[in-house]
Amino acid sequence: MSDHRAIPPAEQDLQYFRSPGNRRVRKRRWARVGVKWTTIALVHAGIVGLLLWSGSRFIGRLVTSPRFALDRVVITGASRTTEPEIRRALAGAYGGNVLRVDLEDVGRRIEALPWIDRVSVRRVLPRGLEVAVTERAPRARFALADAMVVVDATGRVLGTVSGDDASDLPVIRGLGTPGTPEFERAARRAVACLDRLRATQPAWYPELAEIDVSRPEAIAALTTAPGPKILLDPEAVERNLEHFLALSEDIRTQIGPAEIVDLRWRDRIAIVPVPEEPAEPEPAQEGGES
């Protein structure tokens, strides 16, 4: 006799046993929930829209109000740059609404002035701006036909100086024509050499009067006191300089005054003495035997 085992009935999906009334209740419930959240979203959107509209109207009144017309600029940190120069860079901003002033554009225009290195511009409500500048430091001078001009560490021409102004700065010669790439490269090279000399020989550096960088293989230096022309290696301007300064008195005593001192060679100092002046011929004696 065969073994008849009970086969469990397949699980039936209970959703098919829900009554039509229950399904209609659930649909009405979801419809009410959808209406509720839609209403809430519309109310919030309306509030946000009202706030945005009110804010735009308020901002519009601010940026057009004559109460915020720019009429005062406070400038700090400027000594070489004059206030009229800075105010000319602000042309077009005066009288306009201070809230609409493009601070970055104003800063760029002021930074374009020769002496200006960095600038910070901020609004001072209701009608002002505060401009704080940091100026470039002059590092050397060079002579034009009718004026003395100063440059900074980057070779940028800052402006002219007169009289004793910047007289403590050494003069650079042989830079070429201002405004050309060659001039800027030569000026940067010369200022870098001056910085190296100041760092390695701080006691001697104030005696340096000028350097000539017209020759690529040598830098010629002259001091404020009478003395020889000193030739320095452009790649190592400090080479042999300390030894020469220590021996300068002995050299003058044993060899005499030097016209040129060449310090470009490693561990060697070459000296060209001042040439002796030829002796003047003795005047012929007048008269003779009678």
249 with 199, same domain: the answer is yes
Those residues with Cβ within 8 angstroms of residue 205's Cβ, 6 or more apart along the chain or in another chain: 197, 198
94: left (phi over 0), alpha (psi -120 to 50) or beta: beta
pLDDT of residue 99: 82
156 with 34, same domain: the answer is no
Select from 119, 135, 151 the last residue of a domain.
135
- Number of domains making up the chain: 3
260 with 175, same domain: the answer is yes
147 with 252, same domain: the answer is yes
CATH number of the domain that residue 196 is part of: 3.40.50
Q: Which amino acid is at 188?
A: R
pLDDT of residue 70: 83
Select from 117, 135, 153 the last residue of a domain.
135
CATH number of the domain that residue 113 is part of: 3.10.20.310
Q: How does pLDDT run along the chain (290 residues), one tens digit per residue?
A: 555 555 555 555 555 555 566 666 677 777 777 777 787 887 777 777 766 655 555 445 545 566 778 888 899 999 888 888 998 888 877 778 888 888 899 999 999 999 999 999 999 888 889 999 999 999 999 887 778 889 998 888 898 887 677 788 999 999 888 878 888 889 999 999 999 999 999 999 999 999 999 999 999 999 999 999 999 999 999 999 999 999 999 888 888 889 999 999 998 999 999 887 665 666 655 555 44
Comparing C-alpha atoms, which of 258, 290, 285 is closest to residue 271? 258
Give, to the nearest 10 degrees, the angle between helix 181-200 and helix 241-254: 70
236 with 178, same domain: the answer is yes
| Residue 101 falls inside a structural domain | yes
250 with 149, same domain: the answer is yes
130 with 192, same domain: the answer is no
Helix (H, G, I), strand (E, B) or coil at 126: coil
Sequential DSSP letters for 208-253:
EEEEE--STT-EEEEESSS--EEEEBTTBTTTTHHHHHHHHHHHHH
184 with 255, same domain: the answer is yes
112 with 209, same domain: the answer is no
| Residue 53 falls inside a structural domain | no
CA dist 56 and 50 (Å) reads: 10
pLDDT of residue 29: 74
Instruction: Give the end-to-end CA distance of the chain in Å, rounded to a whole number.
Output: 187
| Residue 282 falls inside a structural domain | no
> Within 13 Å and on the Cβ side, how many CA atoms surround 160?
8
CA dist 167 and 147 (Å) reads: 13
| Residue 64 falls inside a structural domain | no
Q: What is the pTM of this model?
A: 0.66
| Residue 195 falls inside a structural domain | yes
Q: Which domain holds residue 175?
A: 140-273
pLDDT of residue 290: 40
